Structure 1
Amino acid sequence: MTQTDAPVKLGRRRDHSRDPEILAAALDVLAEEGYEGMTIDMVASRARAGKATLYRRWPSKAELVIDAVACMKRDHLTQSPLPDTGTLRGDLIAMIKPHAVEDAERKAQIMAGLASVLSRSPELSGVIEQAIVEPRAEVNRTLLRRSIARGEARADCDVETIALISPSMAAYRTLILRKPIDREFLVSLIDGVILPAAGIVGGDG
């Protein structure tokens, strides 16, 4: 066999089966330590994976974080259908489930962990907007448009602005006030801000 006929030696194929576990571990560490305090070593230890495995897949911490945050958007798309109670207040209240509250709290903690680098990383800011803010805003838009269609909310209410109230206030509460996101806070936001902004007085009790 000539040198040119020698078989090509292929490198070992990368195993991506553990990516979800590694990305989840990255989000956990990010929420706990913040971006500056987070290290690849910490993520590897949390995921029980080798550091070399992480570095082959994500050459830098920034790339790992971007992928981890982006995966939150994909997770959101698999959630169950939206509630349809017949009123905007009923729909919004029905969205306040224990898992949903925990998820909102975790997302806010992740945003807090990234606060130190957002101004330096436009790409990361865009990923956060699409993965954390936009999914909730889109849910709110859907519920608001449904309310308008049935003649409950004002036809001229500012859907885009109102849809951003809850994700914006949740971020403010966590980042600035350092307070948890709980059911009492979310209900007060619905009754005191969102419903009046949509032109709905009194809700459905």
Structure 2
Amino acid sequence: MTINSRENGSPAYGQEPPYRTGKPMRKQKSQKAAQDIDQDDTVLTSAPGKPNHESSPKAAGSSRPRSEIRLENLRRVVLELVAARGIEGVTIDAIATAAQASKQTLYKRWPTKSELIRDAIRMSFDGAHPGDPGDLGSLREELRLILESAAAMLRTNRRLIIALIDGGQRDPIIMALMRQETRENYRESLQRPMKRAIARGEIGPETDLNLVSEIALPVLLHRAMLDEIIDDRVVRMLLDDVLMKLVSK
């Protein structure tokens, strides 16, 4: 997965959004997991079950601690397998082999496959939803940036999102994660510009913020699930022919 971010941790608009930039509370959880992994040398070593005897806490040529790199690699492996096989098709054996990790250590940190996948999902969406483009003085421009970011995320991770939605039918925790990390976070991102537009007098105070924000992402998601094109033309059509008409005075 491609990772792009701005210095302030928000996605780079017009580019593929990051899968891990870190919100404060979740960053603490990720750091704790990374510390736990670093305490066990058998995770993500050069070969399954063979300890890594490096004494340096940081990987060669990187300012990041080895534990963070290992955890990020494990997350990437889990999500790639889920995207390729679906949740039901992923096994701990497959994760351990692909990540060059010890099954014993994986079970020590995550007692079940479901817990490991859920943790990977939490980390993958950490900071992935669009940030706030700021007050640009134009509701259309602010919404355009957010929708382009969402479209890029869906194009890049279509198979993974389909697999997670499918798995969520059998795992209510995964479904709750998907609901929070997609619908709720995107709704919040879309409503902030509309609230500013109301304050500027650009749109009326009677604008139904929930209606507008509930329509935007499902339209893009539906196209992604049908493997249809989600390009700038589609974003413009959604923006100009639907959303801006809903908020017009």
Alignment TM-score, normalising by the size of structure 2? 0.64
Q: Give, as a single letter, the amino acid of the residue that structure 1 aligns with 2:142.
A: D
Distance 2:170 2:147 in 1: 34
**Correspondence 1:141-156 to 2 at 5 A:** 141-156=191-206
Q: Give, as a single letter, the amino acid of the residue that structure 2 aligns with 1:26.
A: V
Among 180, 194, 204, the alignment partner of 2:243 is 194
Q: Give, as a single letter, the amino acid of the residue that structure 1 aligns with 2:91.
A: T
Task: Provide the secondary structure at the position in 1 that maps to 2:170.
Answer: coil
Shift of 1:96: 5.4
**Correspondence 1:115-134 to 2 at 5 A:** 115-134=165-184
Structure 1: state its 5+ residue gaps. 1-11, 201-205
Q: Which residue of 1 aligns with 2:140?
A: 89
The Cα RMSD (Å) is: 2.7
Question: Contact conserved, 2:154 with 2:224, CA < 8 A, in 1?
Answer: no
Question: Contact conserved, 1:36 with 1:116, CA < 8 A, in 2?
Answer: no
Among 35, 38, 41, the alignment partner of 2:90 is 38
User: Based on CA coordinates, which of the two structures has the bigger radius of gyration?
Assistant: 1
- Per the alignment, do residues 183 and 29 of structure 1 end up closer, same or farther by CA in structure 2, a change over 3 Å counting? farther
1:57 aligns with 2:109: yes
Q: Give, as a single letter, the amino acid of the residue that structure 1 aligns with 2:124.
A: M
Task: Provide the secondary structure at the position in 2 that maps to 1:120.
Answer: coil
Shift of 1:100: 5.4
Deviations 1:44-103 (A, max 9, x none): 3443433333232222221122111212342338x7652432111111223355x65432
Q: Give, as a single letter, the amino acid of the residue that structure 1 aligns with 2:230.
A: I
Distance 2:93 2:80 in 1: 13
Distance 2:94 2:156 in 1: 18
Question: Contact conserved, 2:146 with 2:189, CA < 8 A, in 1?
Answer: no
Q: Give, as a single letter, the amino acid of the residue that structure 1 aligns with 2:248.
A: G
Structure number having the greater helix percentage = 1
Distance 1:110 1:92 in 2: 25
Structure 2: state its 5+ residue gaps. 1-37, 42-66
1:157 aligns with 2:207: yes
Deviations 1:100-127 (A, max 9, x none): 5432334543221123332222221111
Question: Contact conserved, 1:88 with 1:147, CA < 8 A, in 2?
Answer: yes
**Correspondence 1:58-73 to 2 at 5 A:** 58-73=110-125
